[in-house]
Structure 1
Amino acid sequence: MARLLLIADDFTGALDTGVQFARQNIGTQLRSGEEAVRPQPPPGDPTAIWVIDTQSRHLSPRDASRKIEAAAAWGLQGNIRLFYKKTDSTLRGNVGAELSALLRATAAPRLLFVPAWPAMGRTTHAGRQHVEGAPLERSAFASAPLEPTPESSVAALLARQTSTPVQIIPETAALDDVLADDMRRGILVFDAQSEERLLEIGVAARRCGKDRLFAGCAGFAAALARTMDFARQEATPSRRPSGGAMLIVCGSLSERSRGQAAVMEQAGVPAVVPSPPSGPFETRQTAQRLAAHLSRAGRALLRTAGAGSPIPSCEDPAPAGAGDRDSPRAAIARGLGQIVAETLRQTPVSWLVIFGGDTARAVVDALGAPGLKIRDEVTPGVVYSEVEWPDGPLGLITKAGGFGAMDVWRDIERFAQRPPAETVTP
């Protein structure tokens, strides 16, 4: 049976792509941080999908490439032969540098790149990435506060970081002929405007059997989970909570996440906005306010300030010359993580809901939880995982900042109230 290494550049991406395999009862394990590439998978380990979060979204192209090369070397040493490079659905981050690094590390002749996720409104037409029908340069992501993407041409975006040849494969192309052509080398970018097309590409890749390198967001990963020859495991009942207090954390400055937080506040969820810098005293005070809200209302929202505020956000860029850990974004994310950890020490919480990849990573790091298991998908792009916790499994729901309907909180609420027996995943 096939084994695959999924390499993501941020935490929510690792989860929303890894869950595409987990929900198909394919054994999936997540590794993250500096320890991700050691030790090797134990001999005979039945895990089919290994997920590594390289945390390279905000690194320089050179440093990001090194992270990808290290992850690929780890996989090759563990006798893994299939690789999936998870990319942002709006092409943020070091996409060109990381795809070319994976090609170099594996010495493969080509990589199949399918950046579309039609279920989330991300499509690729004539080699250009669109969000809800609009080219990237005319979407909200063109003016995002961190890493805007003012260019929709996939080839042009890749060319900023790599000289690897790029070929655009239109939807009218005969997939079997394209994949059988050994002269097609480098990065093959496939147009796709429907979920059916993603499946067609996956089926053709399996039928051809030549390709080892794939890339895209969670949409194409879901297609590969359904079409490739991965071992399935017997489903086991989820141990997730049913009901209980819910703490929502929004560290994202995306227009979508800000609107979703506003919907929650309008529905009566009490919100707390910390005033950084948050030292130990401020952290305890903020946690006390959250704990009081959770005790009274069963719900509380911890969020950063909106766009234009003098208070920084988890998505504010680093000052010139500063390292990633020195950026306002990283500092505020760590501060939110410390507040969440202190809140959980003060009051019982059954559910953590986190918007934004940097925020989610910082919270999980601050909790120091010994394990996390990817479980299910609440809605497309919104992932449920279980965190090992002294009081029993802690329900963790995460999403990237730009994902989800404005009232996604209501879907999350319904999911949290369902009896655990309704969720059966590996």
Structure 2
Amino acid sequence: MPLLGAIADDFTGATDLATMLVARGFRTVVAVGSEDLAGDGPAAREVRGADAVVVALKSRTAPPAEAVEASLAALRALTDAGCRSFYFKYCSTFDSTPQGNIGPVTDALLDALGESATVVVPAFPATGRTVYRARLFVHDDLLDESPMRDHPLTPMRDAHLVRLLTPQTRRPVRAIGLDTVRAGVHALREALSAPGFADALTVVDATEDQDLRTISAATSSMRLVTGAAGLALGLTGPHEGTARTAAASRPSDVGAVLAGSASAATRAQVAHARERLPHRKLDLAALRADPTAAVAELVDFARTCWRSDPTRPPLVYAVGSLDDLEHETPEGSVPAADLIERALADCAVQLVGAGARRLLVAGGETSGAVVTALGARTLGIGAQIAPGVAWARTQPGVGGSAEGIDLALKSGNFGGTSIFTSAWDELA
């Protein structure tokens, strides 16, 4: 029976947190949505044998009411599965708008649990995300001075988390500084229970891993915590060492990279890979004119690459530079982001049907579309590739493979420049 239930607002976030939990000694299952957690099906049986369950939702940019509904359904399913402690996982860059979804979902989860307060901890120093004086930094830049300022779906124009969160929640938003965190677990616990904090969402500073361990220890009695995956650093599972899943594929199996993200990090990864891997850029005009033919051409390209050199996975990408972004959608046309998601999801299904047993997918929305299209219901976490990124094994039968397939779901902002070429070594 699982000890911990987590709700992640996108698929890369789910594997990000699950990777951290596996490293902390939790046998962890990622469930795609909450529908299959009950009953006696394969997914439900996997959940019963896990120490932690992370429900992957596609709610980060959904309308707030839909995000709340999906999150509450996940909470009910996790509670029914036996979980008693809960974790709402969102991105370490706090991707949201003045309407939500972080605030509304947190409020709803607290209300459903009969709790009044929790912490807000997006810091993840291993990936360059730190919080100081309630301001979120991305490496050396304030959030609103980082590339996240111009994110196409959730442009982040303020680094002050109290100001960001206040319009999203019915609760007071407070802050606790680094000096209190560094004073230790007892001091932080007292601060969180002081007048004015017992019914609030409290942003807690953290600039180092040890700060996160202190926060985790101080909040161990809270039924709900919220934050990025870094907060899990302070958790300890029942198993020593990692509890990761073995790979489904073999080194001789072919694979591909599908990159839908337009983030600066992914663009740099695309540029690096284009010098080393066969590649093809999505043609939006061709996709609008005949999506079936455009996807078929991309799959034919990949198959040709595999025949030529099966050790070099082909790269299919959406954005190589900011000039590739479509700033205005042609009247009556599908928005570019939706078109890209559908095309890469269709590519994934057809590539697996053609023999691919390992896919690296870049971008949260793209990852959600790919996993959904493939029909994966659970993911077991395997070898870590980079902080916040790991290979994950689907259940058997996905894409017709008796052993399942290996997926790496990468947040657009995560990973080193060479990840599209180096990730495959971790499967050997």
Superposition TM-score, scaled by structure 1 size: 0.85
SS at match of 1:404: coil
**Is it true that 1:179 corresponds to 2:193 in the alignment?**
no
State how far apart, in whole Å, the 2-side matches of 1:320 and 1:69 are.
36
Name the counterpart of 2:352: 344
Name the counterpart of 1:395: 406
CA offset at residue 237 of structure 1?
Answer: 6.8
AA at the equivalent of 1:122: R
**Is it true that 1:375 corresponds to 2:382 in the alignment?**
yes
CA offset at residue 335 of structure 1?
Answer: 1.8
**Unpaired segments of 5 or more residues in structure 1?**
419-426
Residues 89-114 of structure 1 show CA distances to partners (whole Å, capped at 9, x for unaligned) of: 11113112222222111111211222
Q: Contact (CA 8 Å) 1:65, 1:98: kept in 2 or not?
A: yes
**Is it true that 1:203 corresponds to 2:217 in the alignment?**
yes
Q: RMSD of the alignment, in Å?
A: 3.0
Superposition TM-score, scaled by structure 2 size: 0.85
Identity across matched positions, percent:
26
CA offset at residue 311 of structure 1?
Answer: 7.2
SS at match of 1:151: coil
State how far apart, in whole Å, the 2-side matches of 1:234 and 1:138 are.
37
Cα gap change, 1:198 to 1:371, in 2 (>3 Å): closer
Name the counterpart of 1:7: 7
CA offset at residue 362 of structure 1?
Answer: 1.5
Residues 342-385 of structure 1 show CA distances to partners (whole Å, capped at 9, x for unaligned) of: 12323x32321110111112222222346432223211021111
Name the counterpart of 1:409: 420
State how far apart, in whole Å, the 2-side matches of 1:51 and 1:374 are.
11
Greater shift in the superposed pair: 337-346 or 140-149:
337-346
CA offset at residue 200 of structure 1?
Answer: 1.8
Cα gap change, 1:14 to 1:363, in 2 (>3 Å): same
Name the counterpart of 1:118: 125
SS at match of 1:16: helix
Cα gap change, 1:26 to 1:9, in 2 (>3 Å): same
CA offset at residue 73 of structure 1?
Answer: 2.6
Residues 162-191 of structure 1 show CA distances to partners (whole Å, capped at 9, x for unaligned) of: 131122111211431332436332212110
Residues 256-283 of structure 1 show CA distances to partners (whole Å, capped at 9, x for unaligned) of: 1011011000124333434313433332
Residues 33-77 of structure 1 show CA distances to partners (whole Å, capped at 9, x for unaligned) of: 372665596799342211112211111222222222222233334
Cα gap change, 1:63 to 1:270, in 2 (>3 Å): closer
AA at the equivalent of 1:262: A
Name the counterpart of 2:263: 254
AA at the equivalent of 2:18: G
**Is it true that 1:191 corresponds to 2:205 in the alignment?**
yes
CA offset at residue 215 of structure 1?
Answer: 1.1
State how far apart, in whole Å, the 2-side matches of 1:212 and 1:172 are.
25
**Is it true that 1:54 corresponds to 2:57 in the alignment?**
yes
**Unpaired segments of 5 or more residues in structure 2?**
none
Residues 275-424 of structure 1: pairs in structure 2 closer than 5 A:
275-277=286-288, 278-298=290-310, 299-306=313-320, 327-346=335-354, 348-369=355-376, 371-387=378-394, 388=396, 389=398, 390=401, 392-416=403-427, 418=428
Cα gap change, 1:405 to 1:308, in 2 (>3 Å): closer
State how far apart, in whole Å, the 2-side matches of 1:253 and 1:265 are.
15
Residues 97-176 of structure 1: pairs in structure 2 closer than 5 A:
97-173=104-180, 174=183, 175-176=185-186
State how far apart, in whole Å, the 1-side matches of 2:376 and 2:317 are.
22
CA offset at residue 332 of structure 1?
Answer: 2.3
SS at match of 1:386: strand
State how far apart, in whole Å, the 2-side matches of 1:391 and 1:350 are.
11
Q: Contact (CA 8 Å) 1:384, 1:397: kept in 2 or not?
A: yes
CA offset at residue 406 of structure 1?
Answer: 1.6
State how far apart, in whole Å, the 2-side matches of 1:56 and 1:72 are.
14
CA offset at residue 410 of structure 1?
Answer: 4.0
Cα gap change, 1:27 to 1:320, in 2 (>3 Å): farther
AA at the equivalent of 1:330: D
Cα gap change, 1:18 to 1:231, in 2 (>3 Å): same
State how far apart, in whole Å, the 1-side matches of 2:425 and 2:73 are.
41
CA offset at residue 231 of structure 1?
Answer: 6.0
Name the counterpart of 2:89: 86
State how far apart, in whole Å, the 2-side matches of 1:191 and 1:236 are.
31
CA offset at residue 329 of structure 1?
Answer: 2.2
Cα gap change, 1:196 to 1:234, in 2 (>3 Å): closer
Cα gap change, 1:413 to 1:179, in 2 (>3 Å): same
State how far apart, in whole Å, the 2-side matches of 1:320 and 1:108 are.
47
AA at the equivalent of 1:176: H
AA at the equivalent of 2:173: V
CA offset at residue 286 of structure 1?
Answer: 1.9
State how far apart, in whole Å, the 1-side matches of 2:337 and 2:359 are.
20
The number of aligned residues is 404
SS at match of 1:91: coil
Q: Contact (CA 8 Å) 1:85, 1:214: kept in 2 or not?
A: yes
From 51, 65, 68, the counterpart of 2:68:
65
SS at match of 2:18: helix
CA offset at residue 2 of structure 1?
Answer: 7.2
State how far apart, in whole Å, the 2-side matches of 1:144 and 1:44 are.
35
Q: Contact (CA 8 Å) 1:247, 1:294: kept in 2 or not?
A: no
Residues 184-211 of structure 1 show CA distances to partners (whole Å, capped at 9, x for unaligned) of: 32212110000111112223334xxx31
Q: Contact (CA 8 Å) 1:96, 1:162: kept in 2 or not?
A: yes
State how far apart, in whole Å, the 2-side matches of 1:146 and 1:319 are.
18
